[in-house]
Amino acid sequence: MKTYDPQAMYSDWMSQLVNQDKWQEWMKPAAAMNHLPMMDALKEVGAKIDPAVMSQLQGDYMREFGKLWQDFFVSKVPDFSDKRFSSPDWHNHAMHAYSAASYLLNARFLMAMAESVDASEKVKQKIRFAVQQMIDAMSPANFLVTNPEAQAKLIESKGESLAKGISHMLADMQKGRISQTDESAFEVGKNVATTEGTVVFENRLFQLIQYTPLTKTVHQRPLLMVPPCINKFYILDLQPENSVVRYAVEQGHTVFLVSWANPHESLSHVTWDDYIEEGAITAIRVAQDISKQDQINVFGFCVGGTIVSTALAALADRGEQPASSLTLLTTLLDFSDTGILDVFVDEMQVGMREQTLSQGGLMPGRDLASTFSSLRANDLVWNYVQSNYLKGESPPPFDLLYWNADSTNLPGPMFCWYLRNTYLENNLKQPGKLTVAGNHIDLGKIDAPVFVYGSREDHIVPWQAAYASTALLNPKKKTRNRFILGASGHIAGVVNPPAKKKRSYWTNSKLDAEPQKWFDGATEHPGSWWPEWAGFLGEYGGKMVKAPAKPGNTSYKAIEPAPGRYVKVRAD
């Protein structure tokens, strides 16, 4: 085995970091997005912690800290439980065990202080987030000098692990992001996004894919799927065994799907109105034309659900009702509760974005990806710092993380409108408050039965916020609405195929005004919620007819095979 001089390598590593022009650029997105709520929170906190509460916290801390010191001096290994310190290396040596235990004690004390601040809930949420970011970053697992696992690997490999770690870090600095998977193991169209289909329409904002039937007969009304424009559509078509797209095709639906363009400078002036008119409404019209159906089943996921619901409301204002049914997965229409993302949205931060982007420019996908990673920093940032850099391990191939790294830009004007009118001012839920694509927006005028899905552990769209859509849609005919709650989070809860027989979901036909009351009366079912959705779509798909022999029609001819060109454009 080749040998290395760890001290010389470390010195060389640090000199390279100092001289790397990309270092600051690489760190800028995370620093910018995390610094804003921290500084904002600290500036806003004029309130103090109640002296009695602070005294109690200090007393509790000193007692626990004193016990920890006593255990240390008598060589008693402290007892602690945290997955970051689960390796025996943390428990078999008193110094490392004490390091982990004291860190966890300090973390608990800091979070208790954050919880005790006398301030508004919005400010407290920012403080909690800022403190948690600091706590996560300062874990002894994140540093070579305090990580016994990394040190053991360094000795065992005679320095090779550190050499590989340096190589991984420098490669990531060139890419501008931390590698979470072996990206060389995947290629869009080869082993992800492989469901057979054809691009039958394209404009500057999207390509429309029509998927090849897998059944001899299909429902008369097609299904139009509108994914989020904030990332690539193939989260709905990763592998054949977990593809939402393929599942819908297998159920006998003619599936059309919007593949959004990854904006570059030519689209830097595109607005929210453009995404509604040239995007969702155009996709609806093409699907209607090709299928020769006045009504179609419409599907929106996350931001895609917000876009397609706005489009249907605009069409309703024009006297059109093209949706036979509407499916919304982890979608916000009422932005009263935006979960942890609320720490990034206030008048100052939105105003800053408007100053730089509202008249043109791009919101980089890298900044957005950094923001979402910071919401789960231990899992999506520091975990890879430890394994990739400190231990020199190469991340294994994982299709979901490959998709997660394939970020998309957003046009500045569109992004600013979206931030202000949804997250900041919550205007979308107010009938007639907004005018989009020349039409007054009233979600209550959409005349279609609705299937609403939320994920119980979703940190991006809290399930209670997804549930709130049931009050906005069909306000006079709420029996037309269904709500399904799935286990797990924003992505894993959605991508849960029946064949895996994993997780569970909850149903309750009575839509109470309070989401918790709905849940209290709900029934839990094992497995996937997809069959529930398939049954819903089947009700509104129309009669069964012979599957189309070829995609498109005389007006919309085949352009290229799925997944098309647009999805392959990288934001890097």
> Is residue 26 scored above 90 in pLDDT?
no
| pLDDT of amino acid 281 | 98
Domain locations in the chain as residue ranges = 197-364+409-568
> Is residue 19 scored above 50 in pLDDT?
no
| pLDDT of amino acid 368 | 87
| pLDDT of amino acid 238 | 95
Q: Looking at the DSSP assignment, which residues form a beta bridge with residue 368?
A: none
CATH number of 197-364+409-568: 3.40.50.1820
82-95 pLDDT tens trace: 999 999 999 988 88
Taking residues 65-86, report their average pLDDT. Answer: 88
At 62, is the pLDDT very low, low, confident or very high (cuts 50, 70, 90)? Answer: very high
Whether the link from the prior residue into 563 is cis, omega within 30° of 0, is yes
CA distance 468 to 483: 10
- Token duo for residue 313: 């409301």
| pLDDT of amino acid 478 | 85
CA distance 37 to 103: 24
Of 228, 177, 208, nearest in space to 408 by CA = 228
Longest dimension (CA), the chain: 84
> Is residue 3 scored above 70 in pLDDT?
no
Selected catalytic residue, list 302, 377, 424, 484: 302
86-138 pLDDT tens trace: 999 999 888 899 999 999 999 999 999 999 988 888 888 888 999 999 999 99
Query: Which CA distances in Å does 42 have to 11, 120, 359, 402?
Result: 36, 13, 30, 36
| pLDDT of amino acid 179 | 93
At 572, is the pLDDT very low, low, confident or very high (cuts 50, 70, 90)? Answer: low
> Is residue 1 scored above 70 in pLDDT?
no
| pLDDT of amino acid 372 | 86
Taking residues 256-263, report their average pLDDT. Answer: 98
| pLDDT of amino acid 32 | 35
- Token duo for residue 318: 């024009």
What pTM did the predictor assign? 0.89
| pLDDT of amino acid 140 | 95
| pLDDT of amino acid 15 | 45
Q: Which of 68-82, 115-129, 456-470 has the highest mean pLDDT?
A: 456-470
H/E run at residue 273:
helix 272-274
- Burial label for 228, CB within 10 Å (0-12, 13-18, 19+), is buried
- Annotated active-site residue 416? The verdict is no
Lowest model confidence (mean pLDDT) among 318-322, 372-376, 564-568: 372-376
Buried b (16+ CB within 10 A) or exposed e, 197-210: bbbbbbeebbbbbb
> Is residue 169 scored above 90 in pLDDT?
yes
**Residue, of 129 and 18, whose pLDDT is higher:** 129
Whole-number average pLDDT of the chain: 90
| pLDDT of amino acid 12 | 47
301-320 pLDDT tens trace: 999 999 999 999 999 999 99
CA distance 334 to 468: 6
Is residue 151 helix, strand or coil? helix
Taking residues 477-482, report their average pLDDT. Answer: 92
Return the beta strands (E) in 213-270 as ranges. 217-219, 223-226, 255-260
CA distance 100 to 536: 51
| pLDDT of amino acid 102 | 93
> Is residue 464 scored above 50 in pLDDT?
yes
* 560 phi and psi angles, rounded to 5 deg: -165, 165
